[in-house]
Amino acid sequence: MEIYQEIIKAEKQIRKYIRKTPLEFSPFFSKLGHCNVYLKLESEQLTGSFKIRGAFNKLLSCQDEFKKGFITASTGNHGKAVAYVSRMLNIKGMVYVPKKVLKTKLEAMKYYKINIKNYDGTSGETEIHARKIAEKKGIPFISPYNDNDIVAGQGTVGYEIWEELPDVDIVLACIGGGGLISGIAGYLKHKNRKIKIVGCEPRNSCAMSASIKAGKIIEVKHKPTLSDGSAGGVEPDSITFEFCKKYVDDYVQVSEKEIKKGMALMIEKHHKIIEGAAAVPIASLIKKKSLFANLNVVVVLSGSGVGMDTIRKVVRK
């Protein structure tokens, strides 16, 4: 089944469980870029990010497989989402998290009383470890992005964008493992192949674009980044690599200073708090604004999971 058809199926399956998030016109960013900028506010989605879409689609599609429970890995947003959904559907689950996961995201996962295990490694290493444990125990593993049901669920973001703004020209979205952008692009490119999809990454952790450039999934060095939600490597043989190779037109990398500025501008101009990963496409819009003149641009704000310590650093002059 084509990913477009799977997204249509996902839209029907999860609609009653999720929010249709606003597509908000931004006078400030529109003036800045001499274009029409619309903010897709997944930061206002249930559990604070787009991840709830994929989580609902996966667990609703495969409930019979999860009688013994499931294991997953997350730096926060995916974990919160599967915790919320599993509690609603009365399914037992376990989330492996890196020891350096943000305190605010870890606390949010605990609200839903899911079993949490710490692992002393990067986000990519934690995923590999969690998958091995799942295989050893004979329990299903839910990848945060390397899964057709997850990608199809995230693709409902693209469904909503098209429904409200069919004359969209360009979509900017943060890219880590690639689940979000794969789904959005898979849907929108089917509707109109002329729509440009831009993958936005923190310069300190840009595994997908490096892999695309190399022609295969490769390991890259990762430095600390405000965009913790997108940080880390891409799982070997991930389906999202092929989706990105097929559908993503361009990549932009931004610095930590640029990400910080994007977060601060959203607070100042739109009075909205977004996490680092959500600010990456804002920073990319500002960096490449000369390319967007007179176009309809959608910027996907992926989540709002950020702690007070980070907010203080962002707004501090």
Tens-of-pLDDT digits for all 317 residues of the chain? 689 999 999 999 999 999 999 999 999 999 999 999 999 999 999 999 999 999 999 999 988 888 889 999 998 899 999 999 999 999 999 999 988 888 888 888 888 889 999 999 888 889 889 999 999 999 999 999 999 999 999 999 999 999 999 999 999 999 999 999 999 999 999 999 999 999 999 999 999 999 999 999 998 998 999 999 898 889 889 999 999 999 999 999 999 999 999 999 999 999 999 999 999 999 999 999 999 999 999 999 999 999 898 999 998 86
Contacts of residue 209, defined as CB under 8 A and 6 or more positions apart, other chains included, come to 175, 199, 201, 251, 253
Closest CA relative to residue 162, chosen from 4, 2, 3, 1 = 4
Domain range list for the chain: 3-49+149-315, 51-144
Task: State both tokens at 144.
Answer: 């945060």
Please give the backbone phi and psi of residue 201, each rounded to the nearest 5 degrees, phi first: -135, 150
d(CA 317, CA 313): 8
Task: State both tokens at 122.
Answer: 């990067």
Q: pLDDT at position 1, please?
A: 60
Q: Helix, strand or coil for residue 40?
A: strand
Is 3-49+149-315 a CATH 3.40.50.1100 domain? yes
Q: Helix, strand or coil for residue 30?
A: helix
User: Would you say the CATH fold of 51-144 matches that of 3-49+149-315?
Assistant: yes
d(CA 267, CA 314): 10
Q: What number does CATH give the domain 51-144? A: 3.40.50.1100
pTM for the full predicted model: 0.95
